[in-house]
Amino acid sequence: MKKNNAIDIIKRMKNAKILVVGDIMLDRFVYGEVQRISPEGPVPVLFQKNESYMLGGAGNVVSNLCGLEVQVSLVSAIGQDDIGDQLREILRAKGVGVDGLVALKDKPTTLKTRYLASNQQLLRVDHENPAALTDDAEKQIWAALKSRVEDHDVVIVSDYGKGVLGLKLLNDLMKLAKKAGVPVLVDPKGNDYKIYKGAFLVTPNRKELGEAVGYTVPQDDAAVEEAARTLMKKAGISAVVATRSEAGMSVIQKKADKATHLGTTAREVFDVSGAGDTVIATIGAALATGASLDDAATLANEAGAVVVAKIGTAPILASELLPRFLEGRQSSENVDTAEQAERVVSRAAAKDIVAGWQRDGLRVGFTNGCFDIIHQGHTTYIDETKTHCDRLILALNTDKSVKRLKGETRPVNSEGDRAAVLAALRSVDLVVLFGDDDGDNDMPCQIIDTLRPDVIFKGGDYTEDQLPEAKIARAYGGDVVIMSLVEGRSTTNIIQKMKA
């Protein structure tokens, strides 16, 4: 795959429209510390410190598509409960419409709660009813689907076996999508793939592929291809993308005589959680731009390599995928450039990243400013803040915001240049722009409330009672730390010296 082609596809994903249908759920993570065993029984006592929530099931496919900046619609079922309300709020925060969610009286929203201490999961509690939908509920789901399919470029079916995707619904969807000329991609469940007859593509892993054909599939190219062709013939499916863990993935199509086998590009593998959702989301996003399946799978293989190097379930971001196709990225210079580019992200992407860090028990710090001309005062301050946290977010005022705060002659350096320089600093883990409109009021209150870092830092020329953002942080349980400043160092002084 040519570099320029890959970059063009990633950039065009912003115009793609994808419909996700399947089992959505809410994942809850409760973090704490174990210091003793309960006197009531041989079980650890967890002292809870904090908790976080994220989209699960089909919702993780949605999160990955949002990370790729795709236009996403969702059709699923939730309960008429507080969990469903919370799930709606998370979707709205990502810019995803919720009018395709059917609220049911007799079926609760699926909630999976994980209790963790020192990154070790102690217990998982599932609150769900995986029974099939009633006829009335299925009719409501179908009505939501029927009105949306032809308005999208691709449909992704995310089957987690929680009852949303009945046989009749799937059959009707395949017929409708075929008539509309919209390809259907399936992340499958179970071993009977005949229920997906008419789908363009399924994405089983090697173990699931073996279960579908009735035997264990060896880890070699020829065996995977043979099993995939057996499955396509048996189930009436046009293509299979089989994920193979450390062996990468294989692309097998009915219309192609030869399979395409892609080796993994992951440098390190920490956690494969959610990697399948990343793969099908990336393939769908690429196909929606008109890319070939081989090119779409190549992009998905790179996206999978990114997410398995993260701890815990975390979506792919366009800003992480794009640098992997820089010219000559194998050189240390370009790898550094790619890593720096990955640190400059949107607010929505930053929210997901921060939640992931906090799930892993990391203390997340936050500071903000214009940082127009970087000087020793800035670097000393940033390095000092990093000693108080595990990860540091730097929120950077946009050009419009700096102009409002500092006057028409500022900023000296554009927001893109300022962000790139800050992302290159060893102490900075994430750069997020804010203040692009008057709604932010040039203050970091909104972005702090969105990201909810564990601690916010401010320079020593302020006191806490002078900071509106301090009240925001204290309200959700965050800390506020006032840092010392390097005397005589400021952008204003530098500009005055230059004029003199």
Per-residue pLDDT tens over the stretch 142-167: 999 999 999 999 999 999 999 999 99
**Alpha helix segments (H runs only) across 370-467:** 376-386, 399-406, 415-423, 445-451
What integer pLDDT is reported at residue 340 of this predicted model? 57
pLDDT grade for 185, boundaries at 50, 70 and 90: very high
Class of CATH domain 344-499: alpha beta
Provide mean pLDDT across the span 185-211: 95
Contact 469, 379 (CB under 8 A): no
pLDDT value of position 57: 94
Residue 182 has a CB neighbour count (10 Å cut-off) of: 21
Contacts of 344 (CB under 8 A, 6+ apart): 319, 419, 420, 423, 431, 432
225-239, 313-327, 382-396: the lowest-pLDDT one: 313-327
10-38 mean pLDDT: 93
Is 332's pLDDT higher than 70?
A: no
Hey, where are the domains in the chain?
A: 3-325, 344-499
Predicted confidence band of residue 335 (pLDDT cuts 50, 70, 90): very low
Give the model's pLDDT for residue 348: 79
Model confidence at 174, in pLDDT bands (50, 70, 90)? very high
The pLDDT confidence band at residue 331, using thresholds 50, 70 and 90, is very low
Provide CB contacts within 8 A for 275, sequence distance 6+.
243, 304, 307, 308
Residue 396 has pLDDT above 50, yes or no: yes
pLDDT at 365: 95
The answer to whether 182 and 153 are in contact (CB under 8 A) is yes
Task: Specify the pLDDT at position 272.
Answer: 56
Cα–Cα distance, 439 to 416 (Å, whole number):
21
Q: What is the pLDDT of residue 316?
A: 86
pLDDT for position 263 = 87
- The one catalytic residue among 27, 277, 352, 440: 277
Write out pLDDT tens, residues 353-372.
888 788 777 889 999 988 98
How many CB atoms sit inside 10 A of residue 258's CB?
A: 9
Q: What percent of the chain has pLDDT over 90?
A: 59
Structure-token pair, residue 302: 């790179």
Q: Is residue 297 within 8 Å of 262, Cβ to Cβ?
A: yes
C-alpha 418: how far from chain center: 25
- Per-residue pLDDT, averaged over 158-182, amounts to 95
Query: What are all long-range contacts of 207-215, with beta carbons under 8 Å and residues at least 24 apart?
Result: 209/240, 209/242, 212/188
The 10s digit of each residue's pLDDT in 102-124 is 999 989 999 999 998 877 889 99
**DSSP annotation of 21:** E
- Give tens-digit pLDDT for 269-314: 544 566 889 999 999 999 999 999 999 999 999 998 888 766 556 7
| 53: pLDDT strictly greater than 50 | yes
Q: pLDDT > 70: what percent of the chain?
A: 88
| Cβ burial, residue 229 (10 Å; 0-12/13-18/19+) | middle
CATH code: domain 3-325 is: 3.40.1190.20
Average pLDDT, stretch 419-443? 83
Mean pLDDT across the chain: 87
Catalytic, 277? Answer yes
pLDDT of residue 477: 86
Q: Which two tokens stand for residue 423?
A: 């992302």
